Structure 1
Amino acid sequence: MSEVSHRRTPPEVSRRRTSPNLALNQLVEERRAAGQEVLHLAFGESRLPAFAPLAERLARGAHRNAYGPVAGGEPVRRAVAGYFGRRDLPTGPDQIVVGPGSKPLLMALQHVLPGDVLVPRPAWNSYVPQVRLAGKTAYEVPVPAECGGVPDPAALRDTVRRARAEGGDPRVVVLTLPDNPTGTLAPPALVRQLCAIAEELDLVIVSDEIYRDIVHDPATPFLSPAEVAPDRTIVTSGLSKTLALGGWRIGVCRFPDNAWGLAVRDGVVSVASEVWSTLAGPMQEVAAYAFSEPEEIRRRLAASARLHGAVARSVHRIMVDAGADCRPPTGGFYVYPDFEPMRDRLASYGVTDSPGLQRHLFDSHGVLVLGGHHLGDDEGALRFKAATSMLYGDTAEEQEQSLAAADPLALPHVARVLARLEEAFVKLSR
């Protein structure tokens, strides 16, 4: 790069870096290509094969090479509306926009919604960078002791009042239900409390519900803030996690059925028209089928939730047995252990903070996790996220066996990798 062109590069662009989980994923590929064995728990991917009926729909839609409507065609928007309707959120097709993953839809919302943004701490590592890319301020608010994914109610109220008194303009709060990174689901009473604060302080709620269909126990109650505060809640979701279609990039957004909500929808459509134009036609074919939820899709979702829950609970036990404090996982496919009780022991290895713990686990034990400092957490803490969904097998055949098994933990390929993980954390705690 010439000296002149470097001077013309805005400093905020020069400071930007690749998303940490994607960068670590690349590091794992490089280590494995060099012949090193790595237990990769740093990437939030549902490591399952594409369901055959979904692949058939993709092939069936291959002829759809025209752009089509920016918000998505009527069939896919009608199917997504039906999906929300079956979850106690009556929805019309005009309230829906589809896009290439929920991530760009969330980014579009940052460009359309006015005001600064309140984000749980810790949180998925793209929320804060998206806020900053949109030229806004992110206010990170600690999560309550019982769960992640939502700001602590008292801290949320205090943060908003203090920020506004100091000239800030927080107007949006982001929730994740169930949560990434803690693998927990905020209970209905807490959701209602947060909705009441949003009403009191006039906050827009963006509810990221991409893990909604991965609640481990079907009896666990799920309350969307869109049920409690329908006039101010926008919901995003997609198929990356529930049906393991991360690489196919299918996301959806539901807007309130009022003048304000439809105006925001129009703003998102405007951004989409300049950025991604429309969700690819073959992916709309897949989405229309998946969100209509025929019996085989419902069975696949139920089997996936059972598998995710069984393995997450096993990893949670390993972490607790190694001396960590850790919230029991109830949704998604993550655990978020806190090794503060082991601080003195870890210090003997030179580990005193989150980056050091991440590095030690990788260099000394071949286990890669995502340190809490990548998620907005205190760098001096000893916390990290482990994606348990990476443990179902190395091949599509093994992964399908894991999905079909009544007891996936008894399968040799799952038991073997869990035993290796347990061995690593036993050594860590000695």
Structure 2
Amino acid sequence: MPVSATLAVNEAIRAKRESGKYVLPLGFGEAGLPVHRSLTDRLSRYAGRNGYGSVAGVPQLREAAAGYWSRRDLRTEPSQVIAGPGSKPLLYAALMAVGGDVVLPQPSWVSYGAQVEMLGATPLYVPTIPGDGGVPDPQRLKDYLDHARTIGRDVRAMVMTLPDNPTGTLAAPEIIHRACDIAREYDLVIIADEIYRDLVFDAGRAYVSPADIAPERTIITTGLSKSLALGGWRIGVARVPDSALGDELRERMLTIASEIWSSPSAPVQHAAAYAYTEPAELRDHIADSRRLHATVARAVAGHFGAAGAEVAVPDGGFYLYPDLAPYRSHLEAKWSVKTGADLSELLLDRYAVGVLPGSAFGDGIKELKLRVATSQLYGQTDAQREAALRSAYPLMLPWIAKALDRLDEVLKDLTR
């Protein structure tokens, strides 16, 4: 199994930059923003905490995370919270605790399928509805499940991502409801990856969690790497159901955690506990981040759309998923591009544009879809990133304007 595609493209982009080339870094989904001072202060204050602590996490963090969900109308007790070194290992622990094959949206984040396969199981990819990414299409889901069980597959879980990576879209509430109803009918555990929940662009848009609909069978995973740009701090939390099934899954996940990571970093847990209390300065910081992500992601989507690509307007996070299928014949005749991997390699090698092919996210190899991440356009220094975060007109900042102009040049040369 190769290194994660998102991490691999980040290394390729770094190598291009070190060679002196101007690079458009559109491959790696890091939040690309400076850490808020209140969090670095908290981390420093607790730097002397060096004990392992509870496997589930320090009480302060579990209480704060319970409050975070309770404020979102998901009543949560601290006993339902498990902390881990990032949401990715928590996801892996949840998949291991449930066992069996797993329904995944197609397309979906690269690590879902890889983790399922690492556990010796098989992902069952079910296509999503265009514009409603992150949730398997309910119209197809039952047929896929019936066929899988007919041929003897042991399907026990389904993953949903709200909002979605790679498409940047947020599924409509009725689609989430129908998918949850099917999960209940087929006795599937739902694992809801909600790490981008606080980055939904329209603050007035209703957010429906699978835990609102099927609370007895939904595990939620989230973290601070996206909303507060703390990817390198490696801290995440999971919420298990308040049910007999939830109690069983909690015990299994804690057993797994005890044998893999023992406990997350104690100083980071205390800083995360402060973050999950959602003080005013961090709420404002996230609001500024959300506005910046929305402005830049929608602008990049507009440039792809103007170039003739098919692309949904993103609803949250910092991703979009353009499809260059309208140029299939042209790209093959001019550039010998036959697959999404061919297209992404051409963009990196000829134009120094780092993106990922849709095939990395479960789509067919011949699809000419690309996962584009926009959050690395905010600047190469903390000063630039801070200026982007505070600017009322970030698209007018010279380094962001330069990146968008370069994207136009590349798309025109690629498609003309």
TM-score, normalised by the number of residues in structure 1: 0.95
Pairs aligned (count): 415
Task: Check if 1:373 corresponds to 2:359.
Answer: yes
Task: Check if 1:311 corresponds to 2:261.
Answer: no
Give the match for residue 262 of structure 2: 277
Give the match for residue 364 of structure 1: 350
Give the match for residue 93 of structure 1: 78
The answer (yes or no) to whether the contact 1:205–1:233 under 8 Å persists in 2 is yes
The answer (yes or no) to whether the contact 2:6–2:356 under 8 Å persists in 1 is yes
The answer (yes or no) to whether the contact 1:322–1:428 under 8 Å persists in 2 is no
Hey, what's the Cα distance between the residues in 1 that align with 2:379 and 2:405? 14
Output the amino acid matched with 1:63: G
Hey, what's the Cα distance between the residues in 2 that align with 1:417 and 1:355? 23
Match 1:418 to one of 398, 404, 415: 404
Task: Check if 1:41 corresponds to 2:37.
Answer: no
The answer (yes or no) to whether the contact 2:138–2:178 under 8 Å persists in 1 is yes
Match 1:295 to one of 268, 280, 284: 280
Segment drifting more, 97-106 vs 355-364: 355-364
Aligned pairs for 1:56-71 within 5 A: 56-71=41-56
Which 4+ stretches in 1 moved above 4 angstroms? none
Hey, what's the Cα distance between the residues in 2 that align with 1:209 and 1:346? 36
Structure 1, unmatched stretches of 5+, are 1-15
Task: Check if 1:390 corresponds to 2:372.
Answer: no
What displacement does 1:116 show?
1.1
The answer (yes or no) to whether the contact 1:77–1:288 under 8 Å persists in 2 is yes
What displacement does 1:146 show?
2.8
Hey, what's the Cα distance between the residues in 2 that align with 1:350 and 1:220? 43
SS in 1 for 2:378: coil
What displacement does 1:36 show?
2.2
Hey, what's the Cα distance between the residues in 2 that align with 1:22 and 1:146? 26
Hey, what's the Cα distance between the residues in 1 that align with 2:11 and 2:399? 24
Give the match for residue 11 of structure 1: none
What displacement does 1:366 show?
1.2
The answer (yes or no) to whether the contact 1:182–1:335 under 8 Å persists in 2 is yes
What displacement does 1:327 show?
0.9
SS in 1 for 2:344: helix
Segment drifting more, 394-403 vs 31-40: 31-40
Give the match for residue 10 of structure 1: none
SS in 2 for 1:213: helix
Match 1:214 to one of 188, 199, 221: 199
TM-align CA RMSD: 0.9
The answer (yes or no) to whether the contact 1:335–1:385 under 8 Å persists in 2 is yes
SS in 2 for 1:332: coil
Output the amino acid matched with 1:409: L
What displacement does 1:108 show?
0.8
What displacement does 1:114 show?
2.8
The answer (yes or no) to whether the contact 2:31–2:225 under 8 Å persists in 1 is yes
Give the match for residue 231 of structure 1: 216
Aligned residues with identical type, % of pairs: 49
Match 2:138 to one of 147, 153, 157: 153
Give the match for residue 8 of structure 1: none
SS in 1 for 2:410: helix
Hey, what's the Cα distance between the residues in 1 that align with 2:130 and 2:300? 20
Match 1:241 to one of 196, 202, 226: 226
SS in 1 for 2:286: helix
Give the match for residue 333 of structure 1: 318
Give the match for residue 5 of structure 1: none
SS in 1 for 2:157: strand
Structure 2, unmatched stretches of 5+, are none
What displacement does 1:413 show?
1.9
Output the amino acid matched with 1:402: A
Hey, what's the Cα distance between the residues in 2 that align with 1:73 and 1:262? 19
Output the amino acid matched with 1:324: A
Segment drifting more, 381-390 vs 138-147: 138-147
Hey, what's the Cα distance between the residues in 2 that align with 1:154 and 1:187? 14
What displacement does 1:206 show?
0.4
Match 1:351 to one of 334, 337, 342: 337
What displacement does 1:165 show?
0.8
TM-score, normalised by the number of residues in structure 2: 0.98
Hey, what's the Cα distance between the residues in 1 that align with 2:284 and 2:9? 33
Aligned pairs for 1:57-206 within 5 A: 57-206=42-191
